[in-house]
Structure 1
Amino acid sequence: MSILAISTMSPPHKPRTTFTLPLNLLLQLNHLLKKSIFSRQFYQEINDKVLSKSSTVDQNLYFLCYFSLLLSSILNNKYNILNFLQKQKYNLLQLVKKSANTLNINTNDSKILNQSPPQPIPESQQNPSKLAYHLKKINSYLADVRIFNRLTDSIKYMPWLIDEWHGFNDPTAKSPRIDRFVNVIQALNCIVLEIFENIGWLTDHDFIGTGNNPYWCIETYIWCCRVWGAYLIIEIIEIFRRTPINQWKSKNWQINLFKNVIQLPLVLHWCLRDGCLTPFWVGLCGCGASWWNFKDMWSSINLK
């Protein structure tokens, strides 16, 4: 029924205010469009804060890559998920029924409490999700793009390593020597893991001929993840060591710790030739590790 029809059916003594809500929505939408897709500043903000650096591009693709994998896994397992939820619902109803019987409450006439156990959907009736297939392809493509985007990162890390090395050997430096040593190790870790990752990508795409590219591709990716794991473990230790205990309740500190810890299952998964996580858990851990940076980056877009 149209808004006009609703307006004509209203009692005559009531003011006609049916157009107020749609008008407000239109005005809000118009205001939002002017600040976003019709605004030059909006695109300039995206260019400056998202697209101008390979690090921010990777930060954006990091979440999208794992989120597409997570959605794909959920869609591929939707029948198992539904069956699990139905079982939990049935178990809860049985618990309620048992409690009612203990209290001598008659439940014989209750259709809800006397439901039969759920039966799993036969595989012949389970239709594969086309959307899940496309999301998995997107995940694979974005992962490839992310590694290609990082091919020059080892060069970008060199000034960091050189600065940290000079700082480590500076006799006038005020920071503890152990802190400066850790900084050097972490910078070196980043360069080494990027070199391993780059070699893995280049052999995977046959830019380098080794006689057995699949083997060397897997080996270099595995060693890349092992170095990544060393970086994460040191980083987690330093998060505790360099932060006073009275600051551990800080939200930013807890988020920073969580972002590093949740990547450890991913490191273990990629370090093993056969992996140890299902695509669901890979997607979930990846989303957990990348969500806050993704959110903060897009929240910084100025729409004024």
Structure 2
Amino acid sequence: MSSPSAPPSIPSSSALRRYLSGADSTLSRLTRILSTTSGIDTTLLTLGYSLTLVSAQLQRTLEKQLERLALSVVEKASDALLPGETLITTLPSPNGPLAQLAAGSKAAADLIADFRIFLRLWGLLSIYQWAKSTYHSPPADGLLRRLAWAQVAVNAAYQYLENGAYLAQHGILPGRSWTGEKQTRWWVWSSRFWAAHVVLDFVRLARVRQLRLRKRSAAGVSGEGEKEGRVEAIREEARWWDEVYVNAAYAPLTLHWSLEEGCVSEAWVGALGTIAGVIGFRELWKQSG
């Protein structure tokens, strides 16, 4: 005779309090992140590219299922066909839960991308503040100063072209200059200026690292020194690598959108964008704690 099963355990009040405290902490940090425009953009970037990746992978699965179905039909019909006969058939479009999830993910990703571009319509104001800050407090290093002004210029061009192409796409800027192939060229050239920013940022990061190593060498810091200084150096190094990884993820994307036909698959677009988004969101999460 089997013994009766024990009743399900009820969480203790202390465990429940810890759970509620953890949930409150998480929600509070999310609230702080989503209270800023940059936090909203980074969160949506991560979510949007993740959905793009999910949609692409689901679509790939559906295509493989359709391919297997087609091969099955051909194999079954081959025995019944006479020499010289050709089989013509129409396969049903996938409309099951997987297909609906793929379509929904793609629609959500497209909506998020559109909303993020809408939020950037005021980006020229931020670039103006960037230029103003660079003018009043320029980097001490000559190369970094020139790189800063070059990045201000290419970002202003990128933002202007993207704004125009986006408004034209939604019918707000009518006219021949904003339709058809011309509109496509505006999108492409905006991405090329973004690609220029990424290249310049790689040069900036290389110069920053060079100056940092030179400073450490001059100060004779090789494992000695104050604990706080070593901790800060480790943090600077981690932030530097984060910027390198983000730019490394964006570089193929900017090249992809700089070409009218593109050069990477939708799955790679989602994967690379997700990498950049996760790194940015992780930094925001640390700062919100």
TM-score when scaled to structure 2?
0.73
Would you say the 8 A contact 2:130–2:152 is kept in 1? yes
Q: Which structure carries more relative contact order (alpha carbon 8 Å, separation 6+)?
A: 2
Give the aligned partner of residue 102 of structure 1: none
Q: Using a 3 Å threshold, how does the CA distance of structure 1 residues 187 and 76 change in structure 2: closer, same or farther?
A: same
3-state SS, counterpart of residue 150 of structure 1: helix
User: Which of 270, 283, 295 does residue 270 from structure 2 map onto?
Assistant: 283
Partner Cα distance (2:27, 2:111) in 1: 25
User: Which of 207, 222, 226 does residue 188 from structure 2 map onto?
Assistant: 222
Q: CA deviation at 1:220?
A: 1.5
Partner deviation per Cα, 1:244-287 (whole Å, 9 max, x = no partner): 48699944433321110121111111111111111101101111
Give the aligned partner of residue 188 of structure 1: 153
3-state SS, counterpart of residue 206 of structure 1: coil
3-state SS, counterpart of residue 263 of structure 1: helix
What aligned pairs does 1:241-280 form with structure 2 within 5 A after superposition? 241-244=207-210, 250-280=237-267
User: Which of 21, 25, 37 does residue 54 from structure 1 map onto?
Assistant: 37
User: Which of 1, 11, 24 does residue 23 from structure 1 map onto?
Assistant: 11
The count of aligned residue pairs is 242
Give unmatched runs, 5+ long, in structure 2.
71-90, 214-232
The farther-off stretch of 123-132 and 277-286 is 123-132
TM-score when scaled to structure 1?
0.69
Would you say the 8 A contact 1:196–1:224 is kept in 2? yes
Give the aligned partner of residue 68 of structure 1: 51
Partner Cα distance (2:272, 2:285) in 1: 20
What letter matches 2:161 in structure 1? F
Identity %, equivalent residues: 22
Q: Using a 3 Å threshold, how does the CA distance of structure 1 residues 167 and 132 change in structure 2: closer, same or farther?
A: same
What aligned pairs does 1:118-197 form with structure 2 within 5 A after superposition? 121-123=68-70, 124=91, 127=94, 129-167=99-137, 175-197=140-162
Give the aligned partner of residue 112 of structure 1: none
Would you say the 8 A contact 1:69–1:280 is kept in 2? yes
Would you say the 8 A contact 1:200–1:216 is kept in 2? no
Partner Cα distance (2:181, 2:92) in 1: 40
Partner Cα distance (1:187, 1:262) in 2: 21
> Considering only aligned residues, what root-mean-square deviation do their CA atoms show, in Å?
3.1
What letter matches 2:20 in structure 1? L
Would you say the 8 A contact 1:167–1:180 is kept in 2? no
Q: Using a 3 Å threshold, how does the CA distance of structure 1 residues 299 and 75 change in structure 2: closer, same or farther?
A: farther
Give unmatched runs, 5+ long, in structure 1.
8-17, 83-119
Partner deviation per Cα, 1:65-121 (whole Å, 9 max, x = no partner): 110000001111125679xxxxxxxxxxxxxxxxxxxxxxxxxxxxxxxxxxxxx72
Partner Cα distance (1:80, 1:250) in 2: 44
3-state SS, counterpart of residue 23 of structure 1: coil
Give the aligned partner of residue 5 of structure 2: 6
Q: Using a 3 Å threshold, how does the CA distance of structure 1 residues 28 and 297 change in structure 2: closer, same or farther?
A: farther
Partner Cα distance (2:276, 2:62) in 1: 27
Give the aligned partner of residue 205 of structure 2: 239
Q: CA deviation at 1:27?
A: 5.5
